[in-house]
């Protein structure tokens, strides 16, 4: 079991809530922001199936039950990697059925991150390759340290991305550049990732989490229901079976009827800060 020194009480409270002892994730809380650290530094935080299972449990079982937190930051242990890919040692015995099942499970887990109702930000502190890049893209925003590297090198192994990389990379940087990265396996640095739209911000190495927390603090001052419904509406644009415009109409009506909207309008007229309650 991993734990953060000096925060035993907070850590134990979290474990009592989750009923799970994480081995590959380190979960901490700072100013009501949850920090999820991929904690396999010696393996460059590679996403093996155990880590994927812990991410699934956290986003589907643990985090939705927690109250009064502002958002989630995902980062990697150490200074070399956010996550340098999947764990290739697990591939040797896989056949067609096992590979398809692995990809489907990865899709489901990353959808749970992408569709999470509060902001999830990737603090990319080094290599984000293969599954690591796919994890970063499943987050709502990406903060890149100046030494960050992004790439989908699966073709070097005779494979293609299996956790949504062939789809999300196009969404962020367009078909032409996405195909170039996917077919050549070339990596791009933080500045190019920012120029292309893959990274939202580039910061000095070591300041990735701080910037992510700063953005979550800003978002936390807005209407919680509006944030949740905005995430749903934006995601709907990329879902083949959902009419994104219809989703926006539905979400707008929902928020218009909320107490938060009435409070927001009153605060605007009265020239004061709104006190949202998420209702």
Q: What is the pLDDT of residues 187-225, one digit of tens each?
A: 999 999 999 999 999 999 999 999 999 999 999 999 999
Q: What is the pLDDT of residues 123-146, one digit of tens each?
A: 999 999 999 999 999 999 999 999
pLDDT given for residue 260 in this prediction: 84
**Read out DSSP for 95-137?**
-HHHHHHHHHHHHHHHHHHHT-SS-EEEEE-SEEETHHHHHHH
Q: What is the pLDDT of residues 109-127, one digit of tens each?
A: 999 999 999 999 999 999 9
Q: Which CATH number fits domain 8-219: 3.90.226.10, 3.40.430.10, 3.40.140.80, 3.40.50.700?
A: 3.90.226.10
Residue 240: pLDDT over 50 = yes
Strand 33-38 relative to strand 25-30, pairing: antiparallel
How many C-beta atoms lie closer than 10 Å to residue 101's C-beta? 11
The token pair that represents 60 in the structure block? 């589907």
Angstrom distance (rounded) from CA 276 to CA 78 = 37
Q: In the 8-state DSSP scheme, what is residue 202? A: E
Strand 71-76 relative to strand 33-38, pairing: parallel
Q: Which of 114, 134, 208, 232 is catalytic?
A: 134
Tell me if residue 217 is catalytic. no
pLDDT given for residue 19 in this prediction: 62
Q: Look-up: residue for tokens 């494979």?
A: 159
pLDDT given for residue 38 in this prediction: 98
Q: Which of 154, 207, 263, 270 is catalytic?
A: 154
| Residue 92 phi, psi dihedral angles, 5° rounding | -55, -40
Residue 151, C-beta contacts closer than 8 angstroms, at least 6 positions apart: 128, 129, 130, 133, 181, 185, 186, 187, 188
Q: Is the pTM of this model over 0.75?
A: yes
Give the confidence band of 239 by pLDDT, cuts at 50, 70, 90. confident
Mean of all residue pLDDT scores within the chain: 91
Tell me if residue 214 is catalytic. no
């Amino acid at each position: 079991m991993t734990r953060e020194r000096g925060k035993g009480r907070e850590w134990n409270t979290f474990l009592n809530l989750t009923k799970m002892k994480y081995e590959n994730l380190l979960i901490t809380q700072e100013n009501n922001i949850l920090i999820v650290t991929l904690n396999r530094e010696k393996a460059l935080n590679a996403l093996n199936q155990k880590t994927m299972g812990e991410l699934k449990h956290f986003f589907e079982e643990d985090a939705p039950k927690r109250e009064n937190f502002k958002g989630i930051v995902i980062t990697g242990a150490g200074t070399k990697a956010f996550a340098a890919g999947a764990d290739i040692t697990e591939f040797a015995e896989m056949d067609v059925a096992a590979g398809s099942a692995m990809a489907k499970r990865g899709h489901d887990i990353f959808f749970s991150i992408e569709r999470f109702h509060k902001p999830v930000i990737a603090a990319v502190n080094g290599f984000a390759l293969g599954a690591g890049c796919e994890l970063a893209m499943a987050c709502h925003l990406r903060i890149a340290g100046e030494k960050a590297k992004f790439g989908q090198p699966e073709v070097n192994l005779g494979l293609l991305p299996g956790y949504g990389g062939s789809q999300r990379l196009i969404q962020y940087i367009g078909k032409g550049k996405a195909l170039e990265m996917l077919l050549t396996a070339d990596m791009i640095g933080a500045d190019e990732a920012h120029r292309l739209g893959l990274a939202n911000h580039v910061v000095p190495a070591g300041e990735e989490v701080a910037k992510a927390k700063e953005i979550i603090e800003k978002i936390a001052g807005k209407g919680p229901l509006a944030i949740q419904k905005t995430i749903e509406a934006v995601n709907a644009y990329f879902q083949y079976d959902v009419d994104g415009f219809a989703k926006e109409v539905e979400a707008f009506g929902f928020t218009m009827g909320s107490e938060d909207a009435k409070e927001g309008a009153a605060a605007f007229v009265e020239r004061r800060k709104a006190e949202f309650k998420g209702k």
